[in-house]
């Protein structure tokens, strides 16, 4: 049975934390429970934070298209009132884009490790295919350190597991939003 709230997914929590800060997760959860547009004052009372802090989070989310607002003028005071809403579909969209890039990089890494016999330097992070490492007599061209074989079946397995994990998370996210 799928989870009801997308904010329960670790992938979403991590993304919101990166984009809007650690309080963005709580803010989105509150807004998700309301199921209607809200004001920054309402949320600040529930989160026990200053309105300016809530607005800062909302503006960071707005920059990414996650939070949207409607502006209306208060006839008595002349001040503007902002009514906000959170787009869960946009969160899923941004995470999909990000994770597809990660997936592509991991697949390239997996293919590279499957196609080549790679060697790592013991001192720095230099990684070379066998042919190039052999040309340098297995001495790192960057720092002069010794190069050892990097073909570790555990690394290949870990990359494969990472790929499967991302694919599963994207599938769950798609079901929850779609």
Q: Per-residue pLDDT averaged across 14-43, rounded?
A: 90
- Cα gap 157→114, rounded to integer Å: 11
Q: 88-118: per-residue pLDDT in tens?
A: 889 989 998 999 999 999 988 888 777 888 8
On whether the CB atoms of residues 150 and 90 are closer than 8 A, the answer is no
Domain 6-86, second-level architecture: Orthogonal Bundle (1.10)
- Cα gap 58→84, rounded to integer Å: 8
Q: Which two three-digit tokens encode residue 21?
A: 């800060």
Mean residue pLDDT of the chain comes to 87
Report whether pLDDT(2) > 50: no
Domain parsing of the chain, residue ranges: 6-86, 91-177
On whether the CB atoms of residues 59 and 6 are closer than 8 A, the answer is no
pLDDT at 34 (0 to 100): 81
């Amino acid at each position: 049975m799928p989870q009801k709230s997308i904010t329960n997914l670790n992938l979403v929590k991590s993304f919101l934390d990166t984009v809007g800060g650690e309080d963005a997760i709580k803010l989105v959860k509150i807004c998700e429970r309301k199921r209607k547009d809200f004001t920054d004052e309402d949320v600040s009372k529930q989160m026990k934070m200053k309105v300016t802090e809530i607005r800062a989070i909302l503006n960071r989310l707005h920059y990414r298209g996650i939070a949207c607002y409607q502006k209306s003028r208060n006839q008595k005071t002349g001040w503007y009132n902002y009514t906000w809403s959170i787009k869960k579909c946009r969160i899923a969209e941004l995470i999909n884009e990000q994770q597809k890039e990660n997936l592509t990089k991991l697949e390239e890494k997996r293919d590279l490790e499957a196609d080549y016999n790679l060697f790592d330097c013991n001192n720095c992070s230099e990684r070379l295919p066998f042919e190039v490492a052999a040309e340098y007599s297995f001495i790192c061209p960057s720092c002069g350190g010794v190069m050892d074989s990097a073909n570790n079946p555990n690394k290949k397995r870990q990359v494969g597991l990472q790929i499967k994990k991302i694919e599963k998370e994207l599938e769950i996210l798609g079901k929850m939003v779609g």
